[in-house]
Amino acid sequence: MDKIYLNKMTFYGFHGVLPEEKKLGQRFLVDVILEADLKQAGKADDLHLSIDYGLVYQLTEQVVEGRSKNLIEAVAEEIAEVLLFQFDLLKACTVKVIKPDPPIPGHYQSVAVEIHREKSL
């Protein structure tokens, strides 16, 4: 299957279990891998035969900057559901939600959740 990558899309959201996360918000990074047959798009050089990256960004932004959730697992799940519903050509997607600055003690670059979902027939 062919793949489209959108890497390190950056948004500001209010997700987390701690009250300060819901009040102050924080930065979230999202990687998305879209799996689809892109042969016809490549041959015809036609966006209508592919997946519009700009719309993928907008839909992802609406989820991350939308309703607050406790878990980044829930954020990733909603992004996958929205994308699989929106694009007929999309067969599967991998969504990684990265929380670069979680309010937990320790030394690390970030915490993240990655899920893979396929369109059910």
d(C-alpha 62, C-alpha 89), whole Å: 21
Helices and strands (H, E) in the chain, number of each type: 4, 4
Catalytic residue among 43, 91, 99, 119: 99
H/E element holding 78?
A: helix 72-86
In this structure, what DSSP letter does residue 18 have? S
99 is annotated as an active-site residue: yes
- What six digits make up the tokens of 51? 């997946």
Would you state the structure tokens that stand for residue 102, as one six-digit string? 């979680």
List the catalytic residues.
99
